[in-house]
Structure 1
Amino acid sequence: MKKVFVFGASSGLGAAIVDHFVGLDYAVTGVARHPTHNPLLANISTIACDATNKVQVEEAVAQIANDAWVISTMGSFKSDNPVDYLGHRYLVDALQAKGVKRFLLVTSLGCGKSWQYLSPQAKAMFGDSVREKSLAESWLQSSTLDYTILRPGGLQDGPSNGQGVLSQDTEVHGSISRGEVAHLIQRLLFSETSIGQIYQCVE
């Protein structure tokens, strides 16, 4: 049975990803600062981890099988918890040291070269978070991990609907349901051609 570890599992997209893979009968472990914040995690294996604490990240990664899939949706929008870059730096380093290879990082539209496509309003609203996520992407890209980066548009509640479109190196705008993002993540993790690639997705 494939093992999947989801960082940022207690809410939002992370919780939707957990729900998706549990529904497929994968062996899912949810990793979050406060796993108890999501009652649904009570039915699966969980790890409590403050990703801004290097030791806690290393202890969490020590529990990950080297052939597992690791997914992270961690973010600090509207929070004083600077996990976007620092947390992912610790996570990438720990995965690399442990020998865990397959990692999918979820960031957002506007990261990296797509910054130029963000509106002034968007830059003012969540630009700092996007810049931190861009730093995380850069750190990951210089690692030895078999990584894939996914930049979804605006996230909305809802199940997978088959309407998500993956694209690369082009300007896109729009939104996408969290369930559909989870479905696309599964698709990307199964594809060896997605290793070392950056995708964006909207409906």
Structure 2
Amino acid sequence: MNPVVLFGASRGLGFEVARYFREQGVDVYAMVRKPESASALEAIGVSVVLGDALEQASVNTLLDLAPENAVAVSTMGSFQAEVPVDYIGHRLVIDELEQRNIRRFVMVTSLGCGDSWAYLSDKAKAVFGKAVREKSLAESWLSTSRLDFTILRPGGLQDGKVTEQGHLSQNGEVHGLITRAEVARLIYQVLSDEDAVGQIYSCVDPVFTSNFKR
């Protein structure tokens, strides 16, 4: 696996992605805003830059650090943030990647984005709707770029281990849960699959969802 440039690594899904890739022996380069987040990532062997994805200079600093054969992954999100990063941050990253040799990019959004908006419940639209719309704009910007992209739309994210049961699907209504660690495994999987380029997948874990509801 090529080295990975990771955006959104400070906590939650992003940190799980960093941990999973490091466990596979992959070099990871990440950008975070807070020094305490940097310390946790450095402890697992991640090369870290302090910066903000809403600032072009910060994005450039991270990409300058990464090897030319790197691939990029983003789990950036901004639910309830004062300044949403989902669209503007991703637009800065995508535009800069197009100017460099880093062509492969996996972006994680969520169920409800793009053409899956119709399957989102009214309650979910009321709570998460703004963030989902921002992510949908980012998806549109990426899908019309020159990058070799894959988009993953996970279901409800939960703590837990890699299950090896996560399921990628396309088209149709999808609902369910999935652990952050399992999403990290699926990101690794699609990065290794040339057929995943240009594809958008929903991803849930039917087994974990079933066990969680019991």
Whether the TM-score (by the shorter chain) exceeds 0.5 is yes
Overall identity of the aligned pairs, in %: 50
The structure 1 residue matched to 2:55, chosen from 53, 56, 68, is 53
> Deviation above 6 Å: which 4+ runs of structure 1?
none
TM-score, structure 2 as length reference: 0.91
| Cross-structure match for 2:125 | 123
Give the drift of 1:162.
Answer: 1.3
| Cross-structure match for 1:167 | 169
| Cross-structure match for 1:156 | 158
Q: CA contact under 8 A between 2:68 and 2:102: conserved in structure 1?
A: yes
1:66 aligns with 2:68: yes
> What are the equivalent positions in structure 2 for 1:184-195 lying under 5 Å apart?
184-195=186-197
Greater mean deviation of Cα atoms: 71-80 or 38-47: 38-47
| Cross-structure match for 2:139 | 137
Unaligned runs of 5+ in 2: 206-214
* Letter of the structure 2 residue corresponding to residue 28 of structure 1: V
| Cross-structure match for 1:16 | 16
| Cross-structure match for 1:146 | 148
Describe the SS at the equivalent of 2:78: coil
Give the drift of 1:35.
Answer: 5.0
Q: CA contact under 8 A between 2:103 and 2:147: conserved in structure 1?
A: yes
Describe the SS at the equivalent of 1:62: helix
* Letter of the structure 2 residue corresponding to residue 25 of structure 1: G
Q: CA contact under 8 A between 1:74 and 1:83: conserved in structure 2?
A: yes
Give the number of aligned pairs: 203
Q: CA contact under 8 A between 1:105 and 1:147: conserved in structure 2?
A: yes
Q: CA contact under 8 A between 1:11 and 1:38: conserved in structure 2?
A: no
Give the drift of 1:21.
Answer: 0.6
Alpha-carbon RMSD: 1.3
TM-score, structure 1 as length reference: 0.96
Deviations 1:14-65 (A, max 9, x none): 0000010111111112222225226421232101221111222222222232
Unaligned runs of 5+ in 1: none
1:28 aligns with 2:28: yes
* Letter of the structure 1 residue corresponding to residue 197 of structure 2: I
